[in-house]
Structure 1
Amino acid sequence: MEATTFGDVWRDVFTAQPAPPMWLVVTAGVVALAAVLFRPVWRVGRNVVTIAHEGGHAVMALLSGRQLTGIRLHSDTSGVTVSRGRPTGPGMVLTVAAGYITPSIVGLLCILLLLGNRVTALLWMSILVLAAMLLLIRNVYGVVSVVGTGAVVFLVSWFTPPEVQAAFAYFFTWFLLLAGIRPVFELQAQRSRQPSPHSDADQLHRLTGVPGIVWVLFFGVVNVAVTAAGIWLLMF
C-alpha cells in the first residue's frame, strides 16, 4: 500500500481491485484444503478457527442481550467465552450454538466481499474485528494469538503487492470456509473417546433436551451447506 495520508489509505482500502485469475482462486483453495487436512499445519491454523469460534459465541451473546465478560484462548486450540445473563432460554441456546458454525459463515461473508473484488477491504475489516476482539481477551496466550493473526494480516495488506494480497485473501477465505467442518468431526471423536459435559453439544443437550449427537449433526449439516454455497459462488 503506497498511501501517505488518511484519505489515501481510506481510498485504497475501499477501492475495488482487479479480479484475480481463476487459477489463483483454485490454487488458494487447494492450498487451504491441504492446510486443513495436513495435521502439523492444522495444529497452527486451528488457532484461527478458535478465534472465529469464540468470536461467534461473543457476537451472539451480545445480540441476544447477554453481558459479555471475556474470552480466553488456549494453546491446545480450545477456548472459553464467558457471558452473564439467564443461564437458560433462547439467548443462551443461540450463544452456545453459534460457535461451531461461525468459521464457515465468516468464510461465506468474506466471499461476498471478494465477489466485489474488495480484497484490501476484507483484510482491513479482519484487522478491525481482531482489534475489537482483543479488548475482550483475558489471558496471555489469547493476546498473542489475536495480535499475531492481526499482525500477519496487516503486514500482507500494507507491504505486499495486490497480487499477493489477493492470493492471501482467497486462501484466508477458503481456509475459514473449509476449516469449519473438521472441528465438528473432532468434537464427536472427543465425545466418543472422552465424554465431557462442557462441550457445546452437551451444553445444548442440557439446555434444550435435544441429544448432543443431534447438535453435532446440526453443526455438520450447516457447515457443509455453507461450504457448498461458498464453493458454488467462488467457482461458478
Structure 2
Amino acid sequence: MRRQVFAFSGVLTPRPGERGNRPLLEHVLALGAERRQTEGPVRLCYVPTAVGDDPAAVSAYQRVFGGRDDVVLSVLTLFPQPSVPDVRGHLLTQDVVLVEGGSVVNLMAVWRAHGLPDVLRECWDAGVLLAGPSAGSLCWHVGGPTDAWSERLAPFTEGLALLPHSNAVHDDSAEQPRRAAYRRMVAAGELPGGLATEDGVGLHYLGTELVEAVTVRPGARAWRVDPDGADGVVERPITPRAL
C-alpha cells in the first residue's frame, strides 16, 4: 500500500464566487477512491479533536457528506470517551482519516492520551489517506508555527513526524504575520526546514516525498523554506495545479 498524506491550508475567508474548501474536500475523496482500487463508496472518518469534538463541526460534515451515495461517513470523537468501541480497528478500515483544524497542541495531547499516534502510523503504513487542514495539516509533520498557546505564534515540534520536516499553514494570512514568523523560526533553528501553504493550497505526499501541490485559489502558492546556514532562509516557490 502507498503511504500518503494530503495536508492543506483551508480557505479562511472565501472571496466572491469562490467555493471555499469544497474542491479540496472533493480532492480528498478522489484520492481516497484511488486508494480503494475497487468499486464502492469512500470510507471517510472525520476526527474533530482539535475543536474539542464541537457538535457544530460534526453537523457541518454530516450535512456535506452524510447523504451521499459515494461516501460512508463516520465520526471519531474522543470526548468524554471514544465514540467507537475499537478505535484501531475502525480507523484501519477507512480509506480516509480527515482531521479537523483547531488547536494542534490540544489535538496531540488528547491523541497521545488515547494512544492514537501509534494507530495513525499504522494507518499510514496500511495506505489509509491521512488528511486535514490547519492543525490537521501540521500534525503529520514535525510541527510548525501555532497560536494554540497564546495570540503570539510559537514553534510547535510535537507532531507525529510522519513527514520529517516542518509545515506552516495560512502562509499569506493578513491576520497574523505567519509568513515572517515561520521563516524566522526556521532561520533560528526552532523549526526544521519544511513547506508552507497559502490559503487554498494542499500538499500531496507519497511516503515522505511531495508529489504534487494543488490549489483552489488562483495565484496561491506553496513554498519550500530551508535555513541557509547564515541566520537566514532560502525559499523556493512551488506552483500548484489548479483544481
Task: Give the TM-score normalised by structure 2.
Answer: 0.28
> Which structure has more RCO (C-alpha within 8 Å, separation ≥ 6)?
1
Task: Give the TM-score normalised by structure 1.
Answer: 0.28
Higher Rg: 1
